[in-house]
Amino acid sequence: MIDFSHFNSIFELTSYFNSEEKCKKVIFESRWNKHDVVCPFCGRHHCTTRTDGRFHCSHCKANFSVTVGTIFENTKIPLVKWFLAMYLISCHKKGISSVQLATDIHVTQKTAWYILHKVRTLYKQDDNVQLYGLVECDEMYLGGRETNKHESKKTAKTQGRSTKTKTPIFGMTMVWKTEDVNEQTGEVKEKTHTYEVAMKVLDIKASTLIPIINHFVAEGSTIVTDELSAYNALDSKKYNHVFVRHGEKEFVVGCYSTNGIEGFWGHFKRMVFGTYHFVSKAYLERYIDEAVFRFNTKEMKESERFSYMFGKAMGTCYYKDVKISMAA
Ligand SMILES: [Zn+2]
């Protein structure tokens, strides 16, 4: 298996992945441990290598290449460009636009747009993540400001939290702290960590939000929310519920706050407005997934994030395996 830990710059990456053969070799080794080629169609092990470099399954008689079943399947874009694109996409903390990516890897903007959307599928959140301990929940709206629109384009009754022009997004942030000891000075510093789950929702009624919380947040957890009435329906036997009353300019209650989720909203808005400028409703979910991925991997080194993304492209790595276990 390839060691990704030394890919901490574009130079190191492109020096290593300098040919299609090298890229294919890395995909091969990442997918098929100990060179046991598994058929992507029927799952049979020990497929044979053909003279043309492709593989053959004796069970279902399929012939396939090393990229079948990965995001690189059927691509006409050279793998060296794919790898470089994935590295650039994973390194830019606020995302990268298709215009910028097109210039950086020398493809058309249409191709760059296609690569970006394909890579975004790797960010898909895991529906089976369990959040526990301290979890901050909050909602925000994304969409055009009615006051900036021409009279003819304004939608009636859309002030405040209307969903006619704005899309509500619901977020849950698990927050935990660790104590880091400086080995030289012996000084102990408290460090805050977060893990985010966020999604587009139809509305912010209790009937929508409470089932989501029940699904993702483990019983016995403490849930911090603002004063939105929907949260009153939280099961008090299941959760310890703390209100932070934003309307009364209250942002911290004892040791509780909504700073974790506010941090995510800030990050999300910087990505959406700073890099992409405009996000269509059709692709909103993918952008939310991307923002969550970037937020959840912010403590990783460039090489670790790339390695994780690469693992996802091969279908062999799941983020919850590496991250959530740290909080236990
Ligand atoms: Zn087969």
* 8 A C-beta contact, residue 167 and residue 284: yes
Q: Are 133 and 260 in contact (CB under 8 A)?
A: no
Question: Parallel, antiparallel, or unpaired for β 63-64 and 55-56?
Answer: antiparallel
**CA 324 – CA 328 distance, rounded (Å):** 7
Q: What is the DSSP string of 214-256?
A: HHHB-TT-EEEE-S-GGGGGS-TTT-EEEE--GGGT--EETTE
Task: Examine the pLDDT at 318 and tell me if it is beyond 90.
Answer: no
How many angstroms is it from 66 CA to the middle of ligand 1? 14
Q: What's the pLDDT score for residue 145?
A: 54
* Separation of alpha carbons 54 and 168, rounded Å: 47
- Distance between Cα 43 and ligand 1 center (Å): 6
What ranges in the chain are assigned the alpha helix state H? 10-16, 20-31, 79-91, 98-105, 109-120, 206-216, 259-269, 284-296, 302-314, 319-322, 324-327
Is the predicted pLDDT of residue 214 greater than 90, yes or no? yes
Is the pLDDT at 328 greater than 50, yes or no? no
Q: Tell me the pLDDT band of 153, cut-offs 50, 70 and 90.
A: very low
Residues with CB under 5 A from ligand 1 (ion): 39, 41-42, 44, 57, 59-60, 62
- 29 alpha carbon to ligand 1 midpoint, in Å? 19
Q: Which of 23-37, 62-76, 133-147 has the lowest mean pLDDT?
A: 133-147
- Spacing of C-alpha 259 from chain mean position: 20
Residue 286: pLDDT over 80: yes
Q: How many A from CA of 58 to the centre of ligand 1? A: 7
Q: Which of 67-71, 187-191, 321-325 has the lowest average pLDDT?
A: 321-325
Q: Please determine, for residue 327, whether its predicted confidence score (pLDDT) is greater than 70.
A: no
More confident residue, 255 or 16: 16
In this prediction, residues 291-295 reach a mean pLDDT of 92
User: What residue has token string 């403490």?
Assistant: 222
pLDDT of residue 323: 39
pLDDT number for residue 25: 92
Question: 64 CA distance to ligand 1 centroid (A)?
Answer: 9
Mean pLDDT of 102-118: 92
Ligand 1 centre distance from Cα of residue 60 (Å): 4
Structure token digits, residue 99: 């215009």
What whole-number distance in Å separates Cα of residue 287 and Cα of residue 167?
A: 13
- In the block, residue with structure tokens 């989720």: 261
pLDDT, mean of residues 74-86: 92
Helix, strand or coil, per DSSP, at residue 257: strand
Is 60 exceeded by the pLDDT of residue 81? yes
Of 48-57, 130-139, 155-164, 197-206, minimum mean pLDDT range: 155-164
For helices 98-105 and 79-91, the axis angle rounded to 10 degrees is 130
Segment 184-202 shows an average pLDDT of 93
- Measured in Å, residue 95 CA sits from the centre of ligand 1 at 38
Tokens 């932070």 correspond to 244
Higher pLDDT, 34 or 161: 34
What is the model's pTM? 0.81
- Residue 229 Cα to ligand 1 midpoint, Å, equals 54
Reduce the DSSP state of residue 174 to 3 states and report it: strand
